[in-house]
Structure 1
Amino acid sequence: MQATSIHAAALHALMIADPDDKCRATQALLADWRAGRLAAVPGADDAEPVVEAGRPPRPELVAPQAVPLRKAGTREGHAALLHAIAHIEFNAINLALDCVHRFRALPADFHDGWLVVAAEEAHHFGLVRARLRALGFEYGDFPAHNGLWEMAAKTAHDALARMALVPRVLEARELDATPPIMARLKAIGDTQSVAVLEIILRDEIGHVALGDRWFRLLCAERGLEPEATYLRLIEDFDAPRPRPPLHLEARRAAGFSEAELARFGAPGETRP
C-alpha cells in the first residue's frame, strides 16, 4: 500500500484549530513519518500558500504595540508572561508544519528536520501551558499578536526568504530574549518555569541552526553570498534587525558567524 503524502498530512495538522488536537496530530505525524507510513513526494511543486493556519478563537489577536505590558511580580503579569511564550510556541508548531506542507520540492531531510521541530514545539507548548494552568489561567486568556505567522505568509513564495526571516530573524530573537525572561521568573521564585525555558532554549538553538543550514544551502544553490543576502532580505521585508544584547553563545551554536555577531552586537556586549 502506497504511503500517504507527508505534505498532505502536514497540511491537515496545520489546519487543526484545537491546541490539544493539533499537538497530538503533530506528534503522530512524526511517528508516522519515521515508521514509513508517510512519504515525501520527490520533485513535487510547491503547494499553494496557507493564508491562515488553524488556531482557536482565542487569544484575541491585536497589533504588537497593543499587547499590554504587565509586571511579572503580579499574578496576572506572571501569567501574561507565560501566555506570551505559549503563544510563540503554538505559532511555531504551525510554522514548522507549513514548511513541510509548502516547500514540497525540497529534499526529504528538509521535511524530516521540520517535522522534528514541529513535534518539539508541540512539546514546548504543552509544558508552558501546564505552567500557565498551574497559575489558574488558560491559553487564550490574554491578547496576543500574529507577527510570526504574518512573516510566514510574507515568505510563502520562497524557501530562502522563509529560512532567513523566520528561523534566523524571529526565532533567533527568542534566543536573545529567553535568558532575561528566565531571570525575571527566577526573581519571583518560579523555578519550574525556568526549567521549562531551559528545555526550550536548548531545543530552539537546534531549530535556528536548522534554518541556518537550509538558508546557506539555498544560497549556495543560487550562487548568493549568505550574509549579504540575509541583510538584503531583512531590508526588503522590513524585518526586525537583531538588537543587542545578543545571546552570543546560543547564536554561535545556531550558525551565526563572528562577522554577523560583530555587525549586530554593540560595544560592551557582556552576554556569553
Structure 2
Amino acid sequence: MNSPILSTFSDVVSISSNILDLRQLALHWLAESDARAKAAGVIAMRQAWLAGDLQLDMQADLLASMAIPGRPDKPDLVAPLEVKRRSMATPEGRASLIHALAHIEFNAINLALDAVWRFPNMPEAYYVDWLQVAQEEAYHFGLLADHLLTLNYQYGDFSAHNSLWELAEKTQADVLARMALVPRTMEARGLDATPALRAKLAQVKDQAAAEILDIILRDEIGHVAIGNRWFAYLCEQRQLEPIACFAALATEFRAPQLRAPFNVPARLAAGFTQEELHAMKIE
C-alpha cells in the first residue's frame, strides 16, 4: 500500500534553503504548516540521511526562530471532550474516526521531529531512531489522509484536540521526561486502542482502513520500543531506577491515567518488562 506523498532530496534542498544538518532540517519541517509538505519533507529527509547527504551536529544548541509546531489552519483545535463523536454506522462517522487517526499521526510526526532537534548531546543512534519514527509517522499520515479522500473528506474537515503536543511542551526541558512520558505513555496508549478500532472498521467493512491500522500497530510497537530504549539509556546514565523514575515523572508532569483494556502482548513486544507493567497496574 503506497502513499503518493514521496518527495526527493532535491525537493528538500530547494524547499529548505540548503539546510544540510539533520537536526536543523528536522526543525525546519517541524515548523512547516502544510501537512502534506511536512510529511513529504520528512520522508525525503530520511532518504537523504540514508544516502549520506546530511550531516549531524549532535552538540549544537538550536533555537526555533518560527512558531512550532507548524500546523494548518484546519482542523480547529478544541478540548478533548468537545471533539464531536459520530456514529460508526454512518459514512460521516467512519470518516470522523479516520480523521482522528490522521490527526494523531500528524501530531506524531511533530513529536518525532521535536525529539530530533530539541535535545543535544545524545548518541547518534538516538537521532537516527527518531528520524525513522518521523518518517514512519509521515507514511501513516499519508495512508490515512489518502483514505479519507476516498470517503469524500480531507484532513481538516473535522475538529481535533491537541493533548499529545501539550505533553510534549511540558517535557521540553528534559529529554528523560520526554522519553518517559510521550512514547511510553501517550504513544503506548495507541498499542492498547488500535485492536478495538481495527475491529470497528472491519465490522463496517472498511478493509482498507483496517489494513492501514495493521501497518500502524506494527510500526508503533517499534516506536514505543525506541522510547523504552532511550528511557532505559538515560536512567542508566543518571543512575536512576527506571520504575521509580517513571512513577515520579508521571506524578510530576501529571501524565494521563492509564485505563484498560491493555494490549499486554504489544507492550511486552515494545520492551516493557513484566515488572514495569505490574507497577503501572497493567495486567
TM range (shorter): over 0.9
For residue 205 of structure 1, report the CA deviation from its aligned partner. 0.3
Corresponding residue for 1:80?
96
For residue 115 of structure 1, report the CA deviation from its aligned partner. 0.6
Farther-moved stretch of structure 1 (13-22 vs 49-58):
49-58
Where in structure 2 are the equivalents of 1:52-201 lying within 5 Å? 52-201=68-217
Structure 1 unmatched runs, 5+: none
Look up the SS of the partner of 1:59 in the other structure.
Answer: coil
Farther-moved stretch of structure 1 (209-218 vs 16-25):
16-25
Amino acid at match of 1:104: P
Aligned partners of 2:27 and 2:64 also within 8 Å: no
Aligned partners of 2:19 and 2:25 also within 8 Å: no
Give the percent of matched residue pairs that are identical in Structure 1 and Structure 2.
50
Corresponding residue for 2:222?
206
Question: Matched residues in 2 for 1:208 and 1:50: separation?
Answer: 29
For residue 260 of structure 1, report the CA deviation from its aligned partner. 2.4
For residue 262 of structure 1, report the CA deviation from its aligned partner. 2.6
Q: How many residues align?
A: 266
For residue 194 of structure 1, report the CA deviation from its aligned partner. 0.4
Aligned partners of 1:152 and 1:166 also within 8 Å: yes
TM-score (norm 1): 0.93
Question: Matched residues in 1 for 2:40 and 2:233: separation?
Answer: 32
Aligned partners of 1:32 and 1:38 also within 8 Å: yes
How large is the RMSD of aligned CA atoms in angstroms?
1.7
TM-score (norm 2): 0.90
Question: Matched residues in 1 for 2:164 and 2:114: separation?
Answer: 12
Farther-moved stretch of structure 1 (29-38 vs 43-52):
43-52
Question: Matched residues in 1 for 2:91 and 2:35: separation?
Answer: 24
Structure 2 unmatched runs, 5+: 1-17
